[in-house]
Amino acid sequence: MRQAGRVFEEMLVTQAQAGDRTALAEIAALRGPRLLAHAARLLGDRELARDVVQEAWVDILRGLPKLREPVAFPAWATRIVTRRVARQIKTQIAARDLVREAAVEMSAEVSEAGPDAADARAIRAAIAALPSDHAATVALFYLEDMSVAEVAIALDIPVGTVKSRLVHARAKLKEALKGEEDE
């Protein structure tokens, strides 16, 4: 049974290489969930994995005509997703470093004395409590005054992901700062 599935997939790859769009759609339906599961396991974040796999499909579609052995498609496509995941992880590490740098700069810029000092500390603490990808997005958008498109380029993520992260980060910041007011 497993062998039959591989042969069918190999046939679909060959047809897709010949320009058959239906075969391409079937390959995506067959292989897509497995690639998503692979990316989600590596990243630990299913939504982020969806974005990464979507970007990987662009690479897969571009490279498909050059694939010499259709039987190698599963491993080849998985390798492309793995490389995209590695890039995403590097981006996350860079974002964490950026957040740390922004926090240091904020600390240097904001006076620890005066009527706004407590608010500044609360905001810094709330941003630091965000997941690193959200904190980086907030830092670039609000502290570095970048547009959504510029943040997307800087973090190497889709514009939609930037918008989503900002929405979620704002909600978390609002909740964290609301808790500060109640104390």
One domain for residues 73 and 148: no
Q: How confident is the model at residue 116 (pLDDT cuts 50, 70, 90)?
A: low
Give the separation between CA 171 and CA 175, rounded to whole angstroms.
6
One domain for residues 64 and 8: yes
One domain for residues 6 and 67: yes
Whole-number mean pLDDT of the chain? 83
pLDDT tens per residue, range 60-90: 999 999 999 998 899 899 999 989 988 888 8
For residue 178, give the CATH number of its domain.
1.10.10.10
For residue 84, give the CATH number of its domain.
1.10.1740.10
* Dihedral Cα 96, 101, 106, 112, nearest 10 deg: 100
pLDDT, average across residues 113-142: 76
pLDDT, average across residues 101-128: 65
By percentage, how much of the chain surpasses pLDDT 70? 83
pLDDT tens per residue, range 29-46: 999 999 999 898 888 889
Asked whether the beta carbons of 24 and 16 are under 8 A apart, the reply is yes
What is the per-residue pLDDT for 58?
A: 95
Residue 94 lies in a domain: no
Residue 113: φ, ψ to 5°: -115, 160
One domain for residues 10 and 73: yes
Residue 171 lies in a domain: yes
One domain for residues 138 and 176: yes
- pTM score, two decimals? 0.56
What is the per-residue pLDDT for 82?
A: 87
Q: Which of 53-62, 70-79, 146-155 has the highest mean pLDDT?
A: 53-62
5, burial (CB in 10 Å: exposed 0-12, middle 13-18, buried 19+): exposed
Domain count across the chain: 2
Domain span including residue 65: 2-88
What is the per-residue pLDDT for 8?
A: 92
Asked whether the beta carbons of 102 and 134 are under 8 A apart, the reply is no
Distant-in-sequence, close-in-space partners of 48: CB < 8 Å, separation ≥ 6 = 88, 133, 161
